[in-house]
Chains A and B, each alone.
Chain A
Amino acid sequence: MITALKRNPNKIRQGSIIVDIILYTMAIVICLITLYPFYYVIIMSISSPQEVAAMNVFLIPKGFFLGSYELILKDAKMWWAYSNTLIYVTAGAVLNCLMAVLGAYPLTVKNLKGRKWIVVFLLIPMYFGGGLIPTYLLINKLGMYNTMFAVIIPGMVSIWNIILVRTFFTTIPEGLKESAFIDGASHLQLLFKVILPISKPIIAVIAIYSVVGIWNSWFDALVYLPNEKLHPLQMYLYRVVVQQSVDLKTLSLEDTRHAVANMLSSIQLKYAIIVFTTLPVIFTYPFFQKYFIKGALLGSLKE
């Protein structure tokens, strides 16, 4: 694979320099546009709180203040939440990939009876749901309320992922499967021995979708985990945001005082929490990225 990679650029990439210049300029412009928000969050998180409240930090940090980070780093609950998130992400990503593959493969077999109905069966829940309370009742009946399972188990199957994997599987040449059957393989063998090894890119996609999706999720925790000790990291951000969106118009003088104090103390905290919670997951990306590179599958496609 590595040799293929190294060879490719020279062999197939010999366009004109001008095209290259245009492409690179475009890439750099896009880069600047998309890098900015994160840069903005970072400079907001280290500027002095009053400048942050004034929201006039745009290019360089104004003042210097690390108090928000200090508050976060000293907060034991934050680290507790970090380890919870790691558990949710690991378990969730593994289960999601496994279920996506298991769900997708049979749907690519043309002769499977009732295939259309299974697809429709899968699609309906993407559009129709029973709402908060019936789902809560179910989770409660299953004894998962206020346990980590409430976050992991319901989220382990993503219909969207199944469809993505299936779409990828359908691009695999039929010949590969035929030859495996001639060797007498079962479907499960075919799936794990032949199809999975050449499906690394889509598995990587599902993995990163799951990792990022679970990392950023808080809603299930909000509903099913009243116990703070089980909260994932993103609940922190959610709570800070809620504290800031209190409607002051409905409060009495006394309560307004407290709400305003609360709000001010967390204006900057929001930015620091975003930096603190997203940096790790951003750095997981390059790990998956190598599977998306053109020609990465050259070796495994050889028959």
Chain B
Amino acid sequence: MKAASPVSKRRGFHWRDHLQLYLIMLPVLAHIFIFSYIPMYGIVIAFQNYYPGKPFLSFGGEIDWVGFQHFIDFFNGPYFVRLMRNTFLLSFYFLIFGFWVPILFALLLNELRTGAFKKFVQTASYLPHFISNVVVAGMVLSFINVDGIINAFVKLFGGSPVALNTEPGYFPAIYTITSIWKAFGWGSILYLAAMSSVDPHLYEAAKIDGANRFKQMLNITLPSIRPTIFILLIFAIGSLLSANSEFILLIYNPMVYETADVIGTYLFREGLLGGNFSSGTAVGLLVSLINFTLLYTANALSRKYSDYALW
């Protein structure tokens, strides 16, 4: 192989490079094409009245094409505004209050001195990630109950107990705090990995220049994870319409629908009545389109102002 390319000359970019690169990617692209793109024809049911057993595509007239009817129905439905608002807000709160937590936590860990303790804290931080939603929900519900731990504290400080689980105003806070708590430790792993590639000599040099720990963090550690931050931020913006409905289902109730009912939970209830294949797909498609547009926009903005972009 070595003989094939000239040793002395700095190489230009040839068709051979392209061939090599495409070949390297081929398994990945083929896999994605087969397992992600081929089944995508299933999206057509968003424009039909589909039930299992019916064909997806056929020319025999068995398909009941309805065009954009499912989209229009959802749009005109009495809960459209509320569902969109709740779904957006819950994701938005998570972004605003949750996005920086793993970064801060990773920076904190990075400043800790002792190895064993540091490892312990890190391992402990990602434990909530392993506890299934059902158990977390059970715990949260027993905490926020009128005679739960949180109200015990409230009483301790002289307040009167609050019905946290029946008051719509508290739901976003409960959801956001629980989600952050469940995710931040796990999310920090990526930042720690990025930080580990910093050359320690940089810190030594900075110290000689008289930079204190805070400045070192600001000028050396933070820049090292900036690409990761931006990429994650772009994706977080691209999922502003995807609240964790699996978890919400477990902790909401009709009294807090006002702030808690999201697209996912609504579709779940629709599914219980049977036959939501088509409208579920339609709504899912709509959400995906919005999310994808958000991602696209965020990426464009990021490329313009920060020079980090997905493409």
Q: Which residues of B contact A252 (CB under 8 A)?
A: none
Across the interface, do B196 and A105 meet the contact criterion of CB distance under 8 Å? no
Q: Taking the nearest CB of chain A, how far is it from the CB of B145, in angstroms?
A: 9
Task: Assess whether B196 is in contact with A12, with CB atoms less than 8 Å apart.
Answer: no
Residue of B112, B277, B281 near A27 (CB, 8 A) is B112
How far apart are A9's CB and chain B's nearest CB, in angstroms?
A: 6
Of A11, A26, A33, A188, which contacts B24 at CB under 8 A? A188
Alpha-carbon distance A137/B291, docked complex (angstroms): 27
B301 at the binding interface (Cβ < 8 Å): no
Question: Considering the chains assembled together, what is the distance between the CA atoms of A26 and B124 in angstroms?
Answer: 13
A124 to B289: give the CA distance in the assembly, Å. 10
Could you say which residues of chain B place their CB within 8 Å of the CB of A111?
A: 13, 17
Q: Which chain A residues lie closer than 8 Å to B135 at the CB level? A: 37, 41, 270-271, 274
Nearest chain B CB to A188's CB is how many angstroms away? 6
Cross-interface CB contact of A34 among B38, B128, B224, B291, cutoff 8 Å? B128
**In the bound complex, do residue B28 and residue A19 qualify as a contact, i.e. CB atoms below 8 Å apart?**
no
**CB of B274, distance to nearest CB on chain A (Å):** 13
Of B60-68, B84-92, B103-111, B168-176, the one contacting chain A is B103-111
Bound together, the chains give a CA A151 to CA B277 distance in angstroms of: 24
Q: Which residues of B contact A30 (CB under 8 A)?
A: 105, 108, 121, 124-125
Which chain A residues in 1-23 approach chain B with CB under 8 Å? 4, 8-9, 11-15, 19-20, 23
Interface size on A, residues (CB 8 A): 107
Query: Which residues of chain B are near A270, meaning CB under 8 Å?
Result: 134-135
Residue numbers of B with Cβ under 8 A of A are: 1-2, 5-7, 10-11, 13, 17-18, 20-22, 24-25, 27-29, 31-32, 34-43, 45, 52, 56, 105, 108-113, 115, 117, 119-132, 134-136, 138-139, 142, 149, 181, 185, 189-190, 192-201, 203-204, 207, 212-213, 216, 224, 227-228, 231, 238, 277, 281, 285, 288, 291-292, 295, 310-311
19 more CB-based (< 8 A) A-B contacts, given A128-B292, A129-B36, A129-B42: A34-B185, A109-B17, A112-B21, A120-B311, A127-B288, A129-B39, A130-B43, A137-B39, A157-B32, A186-B1, A189-B1, A281-B130, A286-B119, A289-B122, A292-B193, A292-B196, A293-B196, A294-B110, A298-B199
